[in-house]
Amino acid sequence: MSAPHPSTSLFDAVVIGGGPAGLQAALTLGRMHRRTLLLDSGEYRNAPAEHMHNFVTHDGTPPAEFRAAARAELAAYATVTVRETAASAVVPDGAGFRVELAADADGAAPFTARAVVLATGMRDTLPAIQGLEPLFGTVAAVCPYCHGHELSGKPVAVLGSGPHVARVVFLLERIASRLTVLTDGADLEPGIRAQLDGAGVAVRPEPVKELSRSAAGATVSFAEGPSDEVGGIFVAAEFAQRAPFAEQLGLDLLPSGAVEIDAMGRTSVPGVFAAGDMAHVAALPMPMASVLTAASSGLVAAASLDGELLARDHPA
């Protein structure tokens, strides 16, 4: 049994973020009868996607349907409270943390918690190409593992000129009927260009004027030369922390912009754990942006948090 709380307003844990990482963290803590508050802002990185993929038993499930099912499961656990509101600040407070809510949260007072799980995700910034944003999540995507198979037998464009381009192309070469790299006016590194040429991959160096939805997928219009119709487009989006809490708490960040965690989801600040796309271990070059790995990391972070509280309550 947990040690008595100094006040009934104190939660064992506040989980910030209602995506797969946060939902799984809340479920794990609820199953251990930890008094848990889940704060869900209603903003999700995969909100533009029509379906989730590459998640066993959930391949093809709409993200909203997945979240609704998870919420229904959480309702069975009496120690878990869910609030549909955003947090605005996380501040160290004695042996725990004070979590302040957004200004529009019905004037609710801040909550206090012994520990925090951050699961707020990342924010994607797409290249400034007209027509790309409305296609993102359907015709346009970032991850071949999540959205590549659905383009089987179709022509596919890869938008970008960085070192990732050749890897994305070769991940898709068994899937697409034809591959074209769109550099949007930028130059490819000679080594990458040689790889693409050796594989017979077409390169369109002209600036991309516009992307528009078509019956087959999308039409790519260029500043010069003929347009091209493709079934789908893969693009390298820049990403950054969606929420300000890493900066507020002074958490260590990795070159990717994600929060550095250890194998147990612990951050550089004791009592603060992180899960999902917003964090990864230093051995990885970037977050593993998938629903399955996000949920898994939520379980690990919650179990680690539970163990830390156990050690506090029952010191050796």
Model confidence at 287, pLDDT cuts 50, 70, 90, reads confident
Same domain, 159 and 72: no
CATH number for the domain spanning 194: value is 3.50.50.60
pLDDT at 107: 60
b/e code 233-242 from CB counts within 10 Å (16+ = b)? bbbbbebebb
Same domain, 118 and 244: yes
Same domain, 38 and 171: no
CA-based R_g, the chain, Å: 22
Indicate whether 187 belongs to any domain. Answer: yes
Using a cut of 0.85, tell me whether the model's pTM lies above it: yes
Over 60: is that where the pLDDT of 6 sits?
no
Domain that holds residue 172: 127-235
Same domain, 305 and 157: no
Q: Of 218, 235, 252, which one is at a domain's C-terminal end?
A: 235
pLDDT at 5: 39
Q: How many CB atoms lie within 10 A of CB 112?
A: 21
Could you tell me which of 126, 111, 114 has the C-alpha nearest to residue 159?
126
Indicate whether 263 belongs to any domain. Answer: yes
- What CA–CA distance (Å, rounded) separates 248 from 97? 12
Indicate whether 135 belongs to any domain. Answer: yes
* Those residues with Cβ within 8 angstroms of residue 243's Cβ, 6 or more apart along the chain or in another chain: 16, 17, 87, 118, 120, 121, 278
- What CA–CA distance (Å, rounded) separates 120 from 243? 6
Indicate the number of domains in the chain: 2
pLDDT at 149: 96
pLDDT at 3: 38
Q: Within its chain, how far is the Cα of 154 from the centroid?
A: 27
Share of the chain above pLDDT 90, in %: 85
Same domain, 14 and 36: yes
Same domain, 23 and 76: yes
- The predicted-structure confidence for 141-159, as pLDDT tens digits, reads as follows 999 999 999 999 999 999 9
- The predicted-structure confidence for 44-72, as pLDDT tens digits, reads as follows 988 888 898 989 999 989 999 999 999 99
pLDDT at 105: 57
Indicate whether 100 belongs to any domain. Answer: yes
Indicate whether 2 belongs to any domain. Answer: no
Same domain, 90 and 195: no
Same domain, 118 and 14: yes
Could you tell me which of 285, 259, 289, 283 has the C-alpha nearest to residue 273?
259
Indicate whether 252 belongs to any domain. Answer: yes
